[in-house]
Amino acid sequence: MSYHCLLATTFGLLLLSNGAVGSQQQIPAMFVFGDSLVDDGNNNFLSSIAKSNYYPYGIDFSQGPTGRFCNGKTVIDALCDLLGLPYLPPYISPVLNETRLLSGVNYASAAGGILDESGQFLGERFSLSQQVLNFQNNLNQLRSMIGGGRNFSQYLARSIAVMVFGSNDYLNNYLLPSLYISSYNYTPEQYANLLINHYTRQILALYTVGLRKFLLAGVGPLGCIPNQRASGLAPADRCVDQVNQIVGFFNKGLRSLVQQMNSNHPGAIFVYGNTYGAMGDILNNPATYGFTTVDRGCCGLGRNQGQVTCLPFAVPCIERNQYVFWDAFHPTQAVNLILAQRAYTGSPSDVYPVNVQQLAQL
């Protein structure tokens, strides 16, 4: 039996057995599109200011500093653990071989946004549209390994696409009037509609090539991150409410988009991840989750440890499991584990209309 026939037979069995490998792996693959919240090393290979491939990033991660913007696991790593998948290789990793490609790829890029211009002052990054093209670049390779026809279409249809976008379109575009004119040209509601329209086109591009399961994560309460608290636009112990209200328009639009896509594409399932609600719950009830510090980064400089992000060989806080934020922008591993669990087994208030565990079984 040839190598390709063997692979095709193996994948036929994998799909028939509901994707279970040793009753562990629940889906064939996961493909991740997003920004620094889920980047696991793509920006290491780009000419960008937005990098984290140095200590103390990765201080609590088994592989050390990898380009993850966290002290440990991202929410994607935690979802991989829950779904029985290996950690995903970044798209431009030198070790992305055919075998590793089969379980999925991470296309996320720090500073990347829904709009191509978001974050451009930080250097090279893969925007949403480029990430979709990068995924399409991998399709022929995947098809040649799995074989064409039903095996390949089933492989894509049973895999999950996770999309985490929007933060940079606010932090590194709309909320930077000194560099971008978008806040002069659009009201918050108009800007949210612009983002949703661009997002929809790219989601449909992924649907067109065969992906059928989508988890679309909303934007968290950006007004509560150390970077925004450090802006002085709110009292010392408060989030910047205006920023949270602006982000609310995007989340409302994204949830509506999910309902619309589910109505118009009965063969697919689109899920809205209520990041804002989950993070809000953690920030409002930190003691319930074992957190003591919600208003400043574990690693960073300046007001709220949020004016300068975590620099190479900086000394981070010791009680990392008690901090909500790792640096000026990103949550700690402890928070990512909670967010992943809520996405995996949460109620419709966390993940709508189904959670990731249910999505994997559909």
Q: How does strand 269-273 pair with strand 351-352?
A: antiparallel
Backbone conformation region of residue 41, classed left if phi is above 0, alpha if psi is from -120 to 50, else beta: left
For tokens 């949703």, the residue is: 196
**Integer angstrom CA distances of residue 173 from 120, 168, 246:** 9, 7, 13
Helix, strand, or coil (residue 213): strand
Catalytic (active site) residue 327:
yes
Which stretches does DSSP call E strand in 22-103?
30-34
CA-CA distance, 194 to 189, in Å (whole number)? 9
Catalytic one among 35, 36, 39, 109?
Answer: 36
Catalytic residue among 35, 77, 330, 350: 330
**Radius of gyration for the alpha carbons in the chain, expressed in angstroms and rounded:** 20
The single residue listed with the structure tokens 């990731």 is 356
Q: Is 330 a catalytic residue?
A: yes
Which one is catalytic: 40, 169, 327, 350? 327
CA dist 273 and 219 (Å) reads: 9
Residue 222 and residue 279 in contact, taking contact as beta carbons nearer than 8 Å: no
Question: Where is 294: in which H helix or E strand?
Answer: strand 293-297
Residues classed as catalytic: 36, 327, 330
